[in-house]
């Protein structure tokens, strides 16, 4: 009896250590995937922001923050996160195929559709055990295959998306590093709020009332000498 108890304690301690190491490795994986250095070409896409800046619809820190907040609450950031969640919980190839069709239908412009497809293919190319599909869907499937925590994937994905567009804005507007960091930090509570809603969402919750963003994405194709692909 005296020997069994220390053995049981040691076994539990070792299990806790292994579980902790596994959790740390999962976080490393997710952080790498959503890093700006992960080679999916996210820096090539402004998601309509370049046209909005050209037309002075977004011109400073305040209007940029408004643009980001609206798309986070009611636009493509939120929709993409829902597609990740739905892909993560999909169970059949048929469900996945229908999800891809739905996502393609919600791409409001050719450049937006190209963005999702090209980033998805780039992610698939460099990520073992992933699926060739539009980016949010292949990310959701990879997260499932790697046993990642969807409650961590969604908010970090949203933060990654916001960071990318803020980086784009820094190349188009007089916004410095200090302002850029503050804009993202100020949106942290909204990221958490939207993430909780996304985790409770279904296909019926996919919508967009950001008509200005959708229009800018469409008209971006008409810009001569554009810097970004969308």
Does some domain include residue 5? Answer: no
Does some domain include residue 37? Answer: no
Distances (CA, A) of 175 to 7, 53, 154, 182, 192: 59, 13, 27, 11, 25
Q: In the structure, what pLDDT confidence band is assigned to residue 11 with cuts at 50, 70 and 90?
A: low
| Count of beta carbons in the 10 Å neighbourhood of residue 18 | 10
Angle at Cα 183 formed by Cα 33 and Cα 202, nearest 5°?
A: 55
Q: In terms of residue numbers, what domain contains 230?
A: 67-230
By the 10 Å C-beta count (0-12 exposed, 13-18 middle, 19+ buried), 62 is classed as: exposed
**The pLDDT of residue 209:** 82
Q: Among 64-68, 82-86, 217-221, name the one with the lowest average pLDDT.
A: 217-221
Does some domain include residue 202? Answer: yes
Does some domain include residue 3? Answer: no
Does some domain include residue 17? Answer: no
Q: If you search the block for the tokens 């909780």, which residue do you land on? A: 196
The structure's pTM equals 0.89
CB–CB of 159/184 below 8 Å?
yes
**The pLDDT of residue 10:** 47
Alpha carbon distance 52, 159 (integer Å): 21
List pLDDT tens digits, range 128-161.
999 999 999 999 999 999 999 999 999 999 999 9
Helix (H, G, I), strand (E, B) or coil at 61: helix
Does some domain include residue 20? Answer: no
CATH of the domain at 181: 1.10.4190.10
DSSP-derived letter for residue 34 is T
Question: Mean of the pLDDT values across residues 190-197?
Answer: 97
Our count of domains for the chain comes to 1
Closest CA to 136 of 205, 40, 210, 213: 40
Alpha helices in 89-230 (DSSP H): 93-105, 110-126, 135-145, 150-172, 177-186, 188-199, 211-219
Does some domain include residue 39? Answer: no
Contacts of 89 (CB under 8 A, 6+ apart): 144, 150
Tokens of 94: 């048929």
Does some domain include residue 183? Answer: yes
């Amino acid at each position: 009896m005296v020997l069994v108890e220390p053995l049981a304690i040691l076994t539990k301690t070792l299990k806790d250590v292994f579980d902790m190491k596994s959790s740390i490795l999962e976080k490393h994986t997710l952080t790498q995937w959503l890093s700006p250095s992960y080679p999916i070409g996210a820096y090539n896409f402004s998601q309509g922001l370049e046209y909005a800046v050209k037309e002075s619809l977004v011109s400073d820190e305040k209007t940029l923050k408004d643009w980001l907040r609206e798309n986070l609450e009611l636009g493509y950031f939120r929709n993409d996160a829902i597609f990740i969640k739905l892909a993560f919980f999909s169970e059949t190839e048929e469900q996945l195929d229908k999800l891809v069709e739905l996502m393609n239908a919600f791409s409001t412009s050719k450049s937006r559709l190209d963005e999702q497809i090209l980033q998805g293919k780039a992610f698939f190319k460099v990520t073992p055990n992933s699926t060739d599909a539009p980016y949010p869907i292949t990310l959701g499937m990879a997260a499932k295959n790697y046993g990642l925590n969807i409650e961590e994937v969604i908010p970090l994905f949203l933060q990654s998306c916001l960071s990318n567009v803020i980086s784009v804005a820094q190349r188009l507007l007089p916004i410095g590093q200090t302002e850029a960091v503050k804009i993202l930090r100020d949106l942290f509570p909204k990221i958490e709020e939207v993430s909780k809603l996304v985790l409770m969402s279904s296909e019926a919750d996919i919508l967009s009332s950001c008509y200005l963003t959708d229009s800018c994405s469409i008209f971006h194709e008409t810009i001569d000498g554009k810097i970004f692909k969308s």
